[in-house]
Amino acid sequence: MTLDQLKLGQTAIVQEFTDDFLSLKFIEMGCLPGEIVKVVNIAPMQDPIAIEVSGYVLSLRKQEASTVVVTLLNDVVLNKTN
């Protein structure tokens, strides 16, 4: 699943990036693999989205968010208990 597919209020863990150029930008902004991200706002036309990461809110275009592979936090918790 990618970051642009999350719904408002969902929380996920960053796994990897699919775009090398954008991955450097994300890393510079504190959005690293293993970080927890939460969707805190979605614009009326569904673009951009705002995520909370590393203690601050970051606004991303959906195209940019589509390059961030994430795992829903609920999925991680369920997999660890089974």
pLDDT in tens, 21-75: 999 999 988 899 999 999 999 999 999 999 999 899 999 999 999 999 999 987 6
Cβ atoms within 10 Å of 2's Cβ, excluding its own: 15
d(CA 47, CA 57): 15
> Does residue 80 surpass a pLDDT of 70?
no
Q: Which of 13, 22, 35, 30 is nearest to 62 (CA)?
A: 22
Model-level pTM? 0.85
44 conformational bin, left if phi > 0, alpha if psi -120 to 50, beta if neither: alpha
Tell whether domain 3-81 is in CATH 2.30.30.90: yes
d(CA 37, CA 29): 12
Residue ranges of domains in the chain? 3-81
Q: Given pLDDT bands bounded at 50, 70 and 90, which one contains residue 77? A: low
